Amino acid sequence: MERERALRLRMENEVDNFRSEKKKIEADIEMSLAIKQRFRKELEQTIDRLHFTIKKGRKDSVPPLQHAYHILEQAQYEENALVQTKIKALEIKKENLERGYKKQIEARETELVELRKERNET
Q: What distance in Å separates the CA atoms of residue 119 and residue 117, rounded to the nearest whole number?
A: 5
Would you say 34 and 84 are in contact if contact means Cβ atoms under 8 Å apart?
Answer: no
| pLDDT of amino acid 102 | 95
| pLDDT of amino acid 59 | 55
| pLDDT of amino acid 60 | 59
| pLDDT of amino acid 98 | 96
| pLDDT of amino acid 20 | 96
The number of residues in the chain equals 122
* pLDDT block averages, 10 residues each, the chain of length 122: 87 94 96 93 86 70 71 89 95 96 93 87 76
Q: What distance in Å separates the CA atoms of residue 81 and residue 70, rounded to the nearest whole number?
A: 16
| pLDDT of amino acid 62 | 52
Of 93, 122, 106, give the one whose Cα is nearest residue 1.
122
Would you say 14 and 104 are in contact if contact means Cβ atoms under 8 Å apart?
Answer: yes
